[in-house]
Homo-oligomer: A and B are copies of this chain.
Amino acid sequence: MAKEKKQVEAITSMEEDFAQWYTDIVKKAELVEYSGIKGCIILRPAGYAVWERIQKELDERFKATGVENVYMPMFIPESLLNKEKDHVEGFAPEVAWVTHGGGEKLQERMCVRPTSETLFCDFYSRIIESHRDLPKVYNQWCSVVRWEKTTRPFLRSMEFLWQEGHTAHATAEEAEKRTIQMLNLYADFCEEVLAIPMIRGQKTEKEKFAGAKDTYTIEALMHDGKALQSGTSHNFGDGFARAFGIQYTDKENTLQYVHQTSWGMSTRLIGAVIMVHGDNNGLVLPPKVAPTEVVIIPIRQQAEGVLETARAVCEKLGGCRVKVDDSDRSPGWKFAEHEMRGVPVRIEIGPKDIEAGQAQVARRDTGEKMTIALDALETEIPKLLETIQKDMLERARTHRDAHTYTATTKEELLEIAANRPGFIKAMWCGERACEEKLKEEAGITSRCMPFGQEAVAETCICCGKPAKKLVYWGKAY
């Protein structure tokens, strides 16, 4: 067990330095490698496989609601980016510009997409003519580039992978419905697959997306009490349609503008999984997003019958994502390695176990160990995976609720913000000035106005004027 110990010690503990703990996991679980390009990371097999799981689960949910996938060019000509005023103001400062191609200077420079609203609008303006062409519910899986000054793997990088959905509808009602539908789809996905509970709500004017009428968001609480915006869904109204001239003829043969939405989630979710579930032994993956759900480790694998039994068990568990680690490392090394990588369940099988007709089983999330009869594994392991999935969500919810505070006076809010990391529920008058003041005085931002509105006080926590909205406040990644 010497090696196991050594490997575990190599991670900074989260209590000591949460940021360093995060960086250690990301490197030692081999999720990413830094590239020679500032702010760009390489997704290694262990990291990309988690993204593939996310893609598969999300894509199926998208398609079940009628989403169709497309692929748009990665370049946006400057004139196209400039078409919608708020949007260009939001994104132009952080784009990368292509100025030369094929050995020549371009007549018009192009940016690498930071997001593709402008491309989809240009596309829709050419393919939408009649009400029969609506709705358009398109999505693409791609990478985007935003020139960030400070970067962190998964949380903020210059290039990142994501999906971006862009829809066009005949009516404002339909667009609003789709915006909310996708936000709920995102939140359900995060809760059911990533085991991360979400606060669903609306962004304030100050925090909304460049060019949107309304932005909705899902917000999660990390282990250190900071919030992470995990997905957003925007209702554009007909703003982009007017800027890009996207019109259709309705059943009465009248020209109308379409109503649009967009919504996106990214590899940032992997950062959320790390920071919600990880511990001081490394990554902890919820079964549904784990590339390998079960690892079988043969003990004394040279002994007669051990590898055969391990492989037979592996075969029987074929309904799960399972593998046997028959590499020439020691069992202790393997234990630590698969713990670091967050594999939800470990099964150990050695000569003594075989003699007793059983296996040793360990849960990654709790460390709990149990003995299960070899011929019961086939029914027990899938049940155990379900239990782990459920327990992880419950633990994350308990942690979040225990770190969600309600403030009714400014003193209270300042005290919580200073001493108790977490969400702060407090009332707000609706004025941007109060948001700015709280940012300045308490270092917190409005995360969202939750869907389930309640009144915890009658006046704004900041200015004392009549309150309009309950807001979740917090420090955010």
Interface mask (A84-108 → B, CB under 8 Å = 1, otherwise 0): 0000000001111111111100000
**Chain B residue, CB-CB nearest to A267:** B71
**Chain B residue, CB-CB nearest to A148:** B102
Query: What is the CB-to-nearest-CB distance from A110 to chain B, in angstroms, rounded to a whole number?
Result: 7
Contact B45 A70 (CB under 8 A): yes
Contacts of A45 in B (CB 8 A): 68-70, 138
Contacts of A76 in B (CB 8 A): 37
Contacts of A102 in B (CB 8 A): 93-96, 147-149
A448–B127 Cα distance when bound, in Å, is 42
Contact B97 A99 (CB under 8 A): yes
- Asked whether A52 is an interface residue with its Cβ less than 8 Å from the other chain, the reply is yes
Contact residue among B72, B97, B138 (Cβ-Cβ distance under 8 Å from A101): B97
A96–B101 Cα distance when bound, in Å, is 4
Contact B40 A75 (CB under 8 A): yes
Partner-binding segment picked from A118-126, A295-303, A377-385, A456-464: A118-126
Stoichiometry, copies per complex: 2
- Asked whether A335 is an interface residue with its Cβ less than 8 Å from the other chain, the reply is no
Interface mask (A279-295 → B, CB under 8 Å = 1, otherwise 0): 00000000000000000
Known contacts A112-B112, A119-B35; is A71 also within 8 Å of B43 by CB?
A: yes
Contact A35 B74 (CB under 8 A): no
Contact A52 B69 (CB under 8 A): yes
Contact A75 B123 (CB under 8 A): no
Contact A36 B80 (CB under 8 A): yes
Contact B33 A126 (CB under 8 A): yes
Which positions 156-174 of chain A face chain B at CB distance < 8 Å?
159, 161
Interface mask (A203-229 → B, CB under 8 Å = 1, otherwise 0): 000000000000000000000000000
- Asked whether A49 is an interface residue with its Cβ less than 8 Å from the other chain, the reply is yes
A43–B36 Cα distance when bound, in Å, is 32
- Asked whether A143 is an interface residue with its Cβ less than 8 Å from the other chain, the reply is yes
A466–B69 Cα distance when bound, in Å, is 55
Known contacts A119-B35, A123-B35; is A161 also within 8 Å of B99 by CB?
A: no
Contact B37 A75 (CB under 8 A): yes
Contact A74 B122 (CB under 8 A): no
- Asked whether A73 is an interface residue with its Cβ less than 8 Å from the other chain, the reply is yes
Contact B98 A35 (CB under 8 A): no
- Asked whether A42 is an interface residue with its Cβ less than 8 Å from the other chain, the reply is yes
Contact residue among B75, B80, B93, B100 (Cβ-Cβ distance under 8 Å from A99): B100
A95–B52 Cα distance when bound, in Å, is 29
Most chain-B CB neighbours within 10 Å: which of A36, A80, A126, A161?
A36
Query: What is the CB-to-nearest-CB distance from A246 to chain B, in angstroms, rounded to a whole number?
Result: 14
A315–B80 Cα distance when bound, in Å, is 45
Most chain-B CB neighbours within 10 Å: which of A74, A110, A119?
A74
- Asked whether A48 is an interface residue with its Cβ less than 8 Å from the other chain, the reply is yes
**Chain B residue, CB-CB nearest to A125:** B36
Which positions 106-148 of chain A face chain B at CB distance < 8 Å?
110, 112, 119, 122-123, 126-127, 138, 142-143, 145, 147-148
Contacts of A49 in B (CB 8 A): 68-69
**Chain B residue, CB-CB nearest to A120:** B42
A74–B100 Cα distance when bound, in Å, is 16
Query: What is the CB-to-nearest-CB distance from A69 to chain B, in angstroms, rounded to a whole number?
Result: 5
**Chain B residue, CB-CB nearest to A97:** B100
Interface mask (A51-65 → B, CB under 8 Å = 1, otherwise 0): 110000000000000
Contact B161 A71 (CB under 8 A): yes
- Asked whether A430 is an interface residue with its Cβ less than 8 Å from the other chain, the reply is no
- Asked whether A77 is an interface residue with its Cβ less than 8 Å from the other chain, the reply is yes
- Asked whether A369 is an interface residue with its Cβ less than 8 Å from the other chain, the reply is no
- Asked whether A465 is an interface residue with its Cβ less than 8 Å from the other chain, the reply is no
What are 20 A-B contacts defined by CB distance under 8 Å? A33-B123, A33-B126, A36-B122, A37-B110, A40-B73, A42-B123, A45-B68, A45-B69, A49-B68, A49-B69, A74-B74, A74-B112, A74-B143, A74-B145, A75-B159, A94-B102, A95-B102, A96-B100, A98-B98, A98-B99
The 8 A-B pairs at the shortest CB distance, nearest first, are namely A102-B147, A40-B73, A45-B68, A43-B71, A97-B100, A96-B101, A101-B147, A99-B99
